[in-house]
Amino acid sequence: MQTQDPKYIDLLIDNLKETFKAIEKFLLIGFTSALVLVVLAINDRQLLGTEKVMFTGSSAPAVVVAIVALGAYFACGAFAAFYFAMRRNLVRKLRDEAPQLLEALLMYPSMVAKIDAPQIVALIFVALSGLIALLLFYVPTHGVEKAVWAFAVIGSPYLILVAMAFWSALDERNLSAREKRAGSEL
């Protein structure tokens, strides 16, 4: 069903571009949080000392820095997954309403515009950075199994995000192939 209302299509396009930006922002903050956890795990695995807080110049107990970084990692993953679900819906609507515009829009300079193997690998890398941090914290005292289970919970938004990206890549590739076949038959 095509409405062809230019304002509606413009709104979908603007929403999709904002969604791209939001996903990238949350992935960057989540990745940074995971790196903070990795540095903490290497420098102060027991979380007994204090750490300098970025941008403020003050210090905070390492355990507080770790809790904030872990919370930010989880929350950013959850928000990125939520926005990625919105990206899937917007792409689907634009594919129905304005397929030529969608093809151009997926060329937007964003890591999550056109989903393919490199983007999925990048998402896996962000997810694994959190796993590495948890392995560094848990393995010496609790073992690998508990570290993996902790990641399954804390990293679940990133696992969902990778699954959605993989599914989106398959959907978008199959739709493009069908459209090309339909175009060549005409």
- Rounded to whole angstroms, the Cα distance separating 58 from 77 reads 27
Taking the C-alpha atoms of residue 72 and residue 67, their distance in angstroms, rounded to an integer, is: 8
Domain locations along the chain: 6-185
List, in order, residues 6 or more apart from 134 with CB less than 8 Å away.
37, 147, 150, 151, 154, 155
Q: What does the pLDDT profile of the chain (186 residues) look like in tens digits?
A: 556 688 999 999 999 999 999 999 999 999 999 999 999 888 877 888 787 776 677 888 888 888 999 999 999 999 999 999 999 999 999 998 888 888 889 888 899 999 999 999 999 999 999 999 988 888 878 788 888 898 999 999 999 999 999 999 998 888 766 666 666 665
Contact assessment for residue 97 and residue 2, using Cβ atoms and an 8 Å cutoff: yes
51 forms beta bridges with 60
Contact predicate 104/184, CB 8 Å: no
pLDDT at 178: 67
Provide the strand spans (E) within the chain.
Answer: 50-52, 59-61
What is the structure's pLDDT at 144?
85
d(CA 94, CA 105): 10
- Would you state the pLDDT for residue 161? 97
CA proximity to 35, closest of 151, 139, 130? 130
pLDDT at 118: 92
